[in-house]
């Protein structure tokens, strides 16, 4: 699995007997054995996990630290063959005549290093400073633990030699709560995975705060953060500990343990180290901050033997990454995007002192969304909707359903309405070009006679790019001549080049430019339910249910569309899946295919189907960059945008060979 940049990690809360290191070592080893069976490469245990955090003044005896050291030796011996990953366990360590609250990092029968707690809480219910010394008080750089001589300090990074981008940094509990946690410095020094051994008690509202804090720290550090918490086995003399294990990555929580479990438990998630590397390389300010906050570190190398390769994936792969699954989140997302679109268009209209706009309304999803945005923009500016000149322009491929929806929508919204049958104009243009559409001579043909012949064309003769482009450009010409044009094309179409250059590709401002197709459908449905009512709502829901088609090829004899877009460019759920992973994360084609196998799409796809559509996507994406190099303005609304002035700057003549070869060989 590491060939795709994944690393399986776990936060562990074993059963605990307070002040009984031998018993706690057995419980720790039991969870390590389970972790080995589950293919885990990194396990983080709670603060003072070998003794219990709540031993109080027993820490000042000679017996407890000595017993903890012996327990560590037992755990260490198990890592020689019983657990082949990295284990991080908590225990008290005596050094320089002081007692330190420490995390020991173990691998392959070796103690890679010992990290002391930097910040000791001594307020409210916490009295760490009564028992321990802070890390800054240490004199020695090495400590004797479990019969080994190991590096000691908060300046340690643990670097895996055979798993790219796996660099581990460790801090202990309160270290996360201070204004500048040690993990910030460790991340700037190169740590991609941060471990926190914690004993944080339960109190009303504290669990939510902890979770938020962990997620924010992982996002700030562009890192994975594994937080292992002490559980209910701790003393309940004054406090209760719930075992709230959390694994977060780059601001998102991947896994969280239910609190108050009485048995030992592992919380497991697969970390995507590729994601972290991608964002660190791309985010120059992350690396720039090293100038002000860089600290010297000691790098301790180790290797996972053998390197983990797990065929399954313990991580949710969203088949629709642009569309939230939670209804409340989807509502919030749609509301935010829609009003971002409105704000963008409103600013452009006021800045250019534009009083009226023109927009082509086909009865399809994209033009419907743009029309709704235009209506709400005019409402926000206090202007009558009559200033929106809505043109529906039926052609040779227009179906009765989309035309009816376009008419109904314009009437219900109260915009300026004009209908222009473009077939005659297209016929004139093709005659001027000397073009015989589908091999049919135009001499003596009228719109009606040509239309009848086109309806009965056999399926193998329904391909004519000039015929399609003439219609698209005639429509755009009419719109441009009417004034300020509001664009309608979406992000997915731009990625595919599924637009006619200088036709539907062009406008004065496009509010849809960074909205992916899979989200357009939900935006229109959301607007129907939350922004509009009456006749408009019913029409909008019918638009949502209409098959996606540019309707540029002739309709069939029964008047239905013969040009389903997804039959040519691929299912849009796959298109947007490819778009998200290739652009947002810079994923390699092989990884995209791997992730697709773990996603639950609206219908099953064979591996061959997904691969074939990925090749189509890559070919079209590279071939159509020239269209994106001169895009009209429009607002960015999400994490992926193709604006040549912002998120995506790519040469129009770049070769796709390397990407296609990678996809074909995957």
Annotated binding site for L-glutamine: 123, 200, 206
Binding residues: 123, 200, 206, 360-367, 469, 488, 493, 498-501, 627
For residue 320, the number of C-alpha atoms closer than 13 Å in the C-beta half-sphere is: 18
Residue 256: CB partners within 8 Å, gap ≥ 6?
Answer: 211, 244, 245, 246, 247, 267
Angstrom CA distances, 495 to 509, 561, 626, 659, 666, stand at 18, 24, 11, 15, 22
CB 93 within 8 A of CB 100: yes
Looking at 102, 117, 256, 375, which residue is catalytic? 117
Helix (H), strand (E) at residue 664: helix 657-665
What gap in Å lies between CA 245 and CA 99, rounded to an integer?
A: 26
Q: Identify which of 166, 231, 159 has the alpha carbon closest to the alpha carbon of residue 197.
A: 231
Task: Please enumerate, by residue number, every residue annotated as part of a binding site for ATP.
Answer: 360-367, 488
Buried/exposed 235-269: b ≥16 CB within 10 Å, e otherwise: beeebebbbbbbbbbbbebbbbbebeeeebbbbbb
Burial of 193 (0-12, 13-18, 19+ CB in 10 A): buried
Q: How far is CA 477 from CA 188, 417, 471, in A?
A: 54, 17, 10
d(CA 407, CA 413): 10
* Active-site residue, 160 included: no
Q: Does 216 qualify as catalytic in the annotation? A: no
Nearest partner of 551 among 647, 618, 454, 619, judged by Cα: 454
> Dihedral angle at the C-alpha atoms of 234, 235, 241, 246, nearest 10 degrees?
-20
Per the annotation, the verdict on 47 as an active-site residue is: yes
| Runs of H (alpha helix) within 381-515 | 400-413, 423-433, 447-455, 465-482, 491-496
Which of 460-487 are b and which e, b meaning 16 or more Cβ less than 10 Å from the residue's Cβ? Answer: eebebeebbbbbbbbbbebbeebebbbb
The secondary element (H helix, E strand) that includes residue 373 is: helix 365-380
Options 36, 47, 531, 573, the catalytic residue: 47
Q: Report the candidate in 497, 498, 507 with the shortest Cα–Cα distance to residue 476.
A: 507
DSSP class per residue in 34-63: HHHHTT-SEEE--TTTTT-TT-GGGGGSSH
Q: Could you give the CA distance from residue 111 to residue 11 in angstroms, rounded to a whole number?
A: 19
Measured distance CA(533)–CA(349) in Å, rounded: 26
Secondary-structure breakdown of the chain: helix, strand, coil percentages, each rounded to the nearest 5: 40, 15, 40
Sheet holding 156-160, edge to edge: 252-256, 246-249, 224-229, 193-198, 167-172, 156-160, 298-302
Query: Of residues 173, 221, 334, 375, which has the active-site annotation?
Result: 173
Q: By CB neighbour count within 10 A (0-12 exposed, 13-18 middle, 19+ buried), where does 382 fall? A: exposed
How far is the C-alpha of 329 from the C-alpha of 326, rounded, in Å?
Answer: 5
Contact 24, 283 (CB under 8 A): no
- Annotated binding-site residues for deamido-NAD(+) read 469, 493, 498-501, 627
Q: By the 8 A CB rule, do 273 and 7 touch?
A: yes
- Contacts of residue 571, Cβ cutoff 8 Å, sequence gap at least 6: 601, 605, 613
Q: Indicate which residues carry an active-site annotation.
A: 47, 117, 173
């Amino acid at each position: 699995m590491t060939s795709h940049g994944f690393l399986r990690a776990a936060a562990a809360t074993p059963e605990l007997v307070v002040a009984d290191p031998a018993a706690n070592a057995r419980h720790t080893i039991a969870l390590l054995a389970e972790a080995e069976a589950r293919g885990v490469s990194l396990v983080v245990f709670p603060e003072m996990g070998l003794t219990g955090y709540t031993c109080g003044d027993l820490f000042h005896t000679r017996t407890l630290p000595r017993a903890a050291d012996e327990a560590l030796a037992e755990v260490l011996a198990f890592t020689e063959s019983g657990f082949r990953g990295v284990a991080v366990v908590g225990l008290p360590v005596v050094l320089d005549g002081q007692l330190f609250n420490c995390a020991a990092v173990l691998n392959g029968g070796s103690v890679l290093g010992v990290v002391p707690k930097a910040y000791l809480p001594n307020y409210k219910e916490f009295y760490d400073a009564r028992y321990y010394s802070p890390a800054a008080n240490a004199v020695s750089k090495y400590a004797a633990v479990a019969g080994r001589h190991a590096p000691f300090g908060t300046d340690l990074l643990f670097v895996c030699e055979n798993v790219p981008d796996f660099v581990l940094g460790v801090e202990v509990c309160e270290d996360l709560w201070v204004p500048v946690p040690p993990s910030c410095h460790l991340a700037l020094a190169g740590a991609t995975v941060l471990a926190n051994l914690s004993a944080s008690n339960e109190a009303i509202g504290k669990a939510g705060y902890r979770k938020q804090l962990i997620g924010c720290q992982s996002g700030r550090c562009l890192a994975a953060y594994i937080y292992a918490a002490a559980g209910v086995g701790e003393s309940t003399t004054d406090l209760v500990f719930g075992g709230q294990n959390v694994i977060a990555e780059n601001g998102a929580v991947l896994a969280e343990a239910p609190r108050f479990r009485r048995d030992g438990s592992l919380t497991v998630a697969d970390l995507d180290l590729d994601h972290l590397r991608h964002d660190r390389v791309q985010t120059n300010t992350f690396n720039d901050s090293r100038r002000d906050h860089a600290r010297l570190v000691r790098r301790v190398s180790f290797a996972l033997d053998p390197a983990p390769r797990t065929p399954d994936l313990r991580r949710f792969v969203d088949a629709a990454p642009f569309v939230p699954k939670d209804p409340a989140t989807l509502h919030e997302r749609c509301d935010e995007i829609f009003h971002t679109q409105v704000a963008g268009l409103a600013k452009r209209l006021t800045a250019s002192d534009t009083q009226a706009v023109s927009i082509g309304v086909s009865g399809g999803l994209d033009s419907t969304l743009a029309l709704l945005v235009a209506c709400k923009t005019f409402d926000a500016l206090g202007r009558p909707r009559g200033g929106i000149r809505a043109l529906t322009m039926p052609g040779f491929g227009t179906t009765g359903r989309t035309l009816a929806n376009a008419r109904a929508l314009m009437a219900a919204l109260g915009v300026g309405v004009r209908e222009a049958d473009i077939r005659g104009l297209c016929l004139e243009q093709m005659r001027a070009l000397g073009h015989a559409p589908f091999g049919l001579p135009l001499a003596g043909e009228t719109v009606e006679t040509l239309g009848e012949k086109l309806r009965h064309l056999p399926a193998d003769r329904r391909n004519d790019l000039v015929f399609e482009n003439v219609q698209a450009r005639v429509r755009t010409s009419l719109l441009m001549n009417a004034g300020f044009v509001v664009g309608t094309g979406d992000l997915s179409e731009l990625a595919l080049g599924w637009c006619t250059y200088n036709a539907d590709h062009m406008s004065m401002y496009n509010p849809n430019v960074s909205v992916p197709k899979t989200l357009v459908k939900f935006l229109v449905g959301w607007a129907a339910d939350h922004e509009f009512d009456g006749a408009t709502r019913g029409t909008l829901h019918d638009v949502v249910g209409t098959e996606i088609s540019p309707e540029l090829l002739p309709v069939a004899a029964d008047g239905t569309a013969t040009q389903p877009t997804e039959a040519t460019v691929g299912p849009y759920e796959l298109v947007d899946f490819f778009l998200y992973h290739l652009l947002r994360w810079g994923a390699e084609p092989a990884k995209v295919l791997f992730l697709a196998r773990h996603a639950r799409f609206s219908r099953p796809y064979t591996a061959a189907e997904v691969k074939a559509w990925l090749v189509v996507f890559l070919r079209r994406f590279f071939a159509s960059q020239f269209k994106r190099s001169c895009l009209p303005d429009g607002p960015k609304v999400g994490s992926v945008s193709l604006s040549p002035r912002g998120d995506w700057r790519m040469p129009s003549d770049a070769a796709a060979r390397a990407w296609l070869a990678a996809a074909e060989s995957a």
